[in-house]
Amino acid sequence: MNSFGFNILFFVAIFTKVAKSYPLQYDEEFDDSMPDLSYLGHRVFKEPSVETGKLVETWNATSDINPEELGEYAEGDIRFPKVARNGMIAETLRWKDGIIPYKIDGFFDIDSLNSIKRAMDIYHKYTCIKFRKKNDDDDDYVSIVNSNTGCWSSVGRIGGKQEVNLQSPACTSRVGTPMHELMHAAGFLHEQNRFERDDFVDIAWSNIRKGHESNFDKADSSTTTGYGVPYDFRSVMHYSGTAFSTNGKPTIIPKDSSKTEKMGQREGFSKGDITKLNQMYKCPDKTASITGNSQSTNSGTESHEISQVENKDSSNPLVNLAQGIIQALFHK
Ligand SMILES: [Zn+2]
């Protein structure tokens, strides 16, 4: 073997070792309920992409897919800064007491700010996650930005400032996209990449755009959990059925043909999403008080009702004006 080949092999061996052993790199705050991200590999470190931004710019709401499915990042919209906490590999933690400090650093118009605020309000109503403005004592926080590089977030708390990019208007046009990216920031991965997804859906590999097959890799079964929630077609973390399609044909097909719910909805949380958030952040009582039955985790009509309730826009101009003033204050 020549030295180049040896070097490549050596690099792969080292990388594999790092990826396999990195959970041991967590500090004392290590929380074993957070997912192992090593299956995402080096793809999570892609630089913000202007090409993605151009695709997202031409997206419109009549599209069958979501703008976060247009990205060249890991699984479309997961990206970490190049160097993580210890310079090793993407690692993640839960947010202490479910409090996620944030700062709006991008310039957004009122509609986009409304969408982001509405997304946070929905978290506050249905979960014990609390988004609050960053103060000087907050070392770790989410910076919400609006660069022309698509919709993306890292997963969980990574330490220091971490960005959630919401390229407007595409990434803010439906409240479900900010909710989706913030749910990544809270610590969740995509629903269709659950380790047991092959029991529920078929992946049509031949319909996937060449080079994007890894977006359908499955998460590690030993470190990810569905918190007792069955595979959830209506999760706000599920891709649309034609995500990353090369020919417009489905890439994700339910095994049970009676499952006719739309995959990839971005109208609001499913009941399962709420349960999972409250389980991760240890406040199942909140789920129980909302659903009336913490054991019932199917995502059916109730989630649809949640979506509908949360998407009633005010048509009163005075209310809209008041909201605009509030939002202007909210921005600063
Ligand atoms: Zn995503």
DSSP string, 106-163: S---HHHHHHHHHHHHHHHHHSS-EEEE--TT-SSEEEEE--SS-EEE-SSB-SSEEE
Q: What is the pLDDT of residue 20?
A: 34
Q: What is the pLDDT of residue 309?
A: 39
What pTM did the predictor assign?
A: 0.81
The predicted-structure confidence for 116-155, as pLDDT tens digits, reads as follows 999 999 999 999 999 999 999 999 999 999 999 999 999 9
Name the one residue in this structure whose structure tokens are 């649309």: 240
CATH number of 47-220+232-281: 3.40.390.10
Task: Measure 191 CA to ligand 1 centroid, in angstroms.
Answer: 9
Q: What is the pLDDT of residue 41?
A: 85
According to the annotation, is 180 in a ligand binding site?
Answer: yes
If 0-12 CB within 10 Å is exposed, 13-18 middle and 19+ buried, where does residue 137 land? exposed
Give, as one character, the DSSP assignment of residue 164: E
Q: What is the pLDDT of residue 318?
A: 52
Q: Where are the domains of the chain?
A: 47-220+232-281
Task: Measure 188 CA to ligand 1 centroid, in angstroms.
Answer: 9
Q: What is the pLDDT of residue 320?
A: 46
Q: What is the pLDDT of residue 225?
A: 86
Q: What is the pLDDT of residue 31?
A: 54
Residues of the chain falling short of pLDDT 50: 1, 4, 6, 8-28, 30, 292-305, 308-317, 319-320, 323, 326-327, 331-332
According to the annotation, is 190 in a ligand binding site?
Answer: yes
For the record, the structure tokens of 88 come out as: 């090793």
Task: Measure 152 CA to ligand 1 centroid, in angstroms.
Answer: 7
Residues with a catalytic annotation lie at 181
For the record, the structure tokens of 90 come out as: 């993407």
Alpha-carbon span 186 to 98, nearest angstrom:
8
Closest by CA position to 245, among listed 77, 66, 79: 66
For the record, the structure tokens of 123 come out as: 């978290």
Which residues have C-beta within 8 Å of that of residue 232, sequence separation ≥ 6? 191, 238, 270, 272, 273, 299
According to the annotation, is 42 in a ligand binding site?
Answer: no
Instruction: Please give the C-alpha separations between residue 146 and each of 51, 161, 172, in angstroms, as whole numbers.
Output: 15, 15, 10
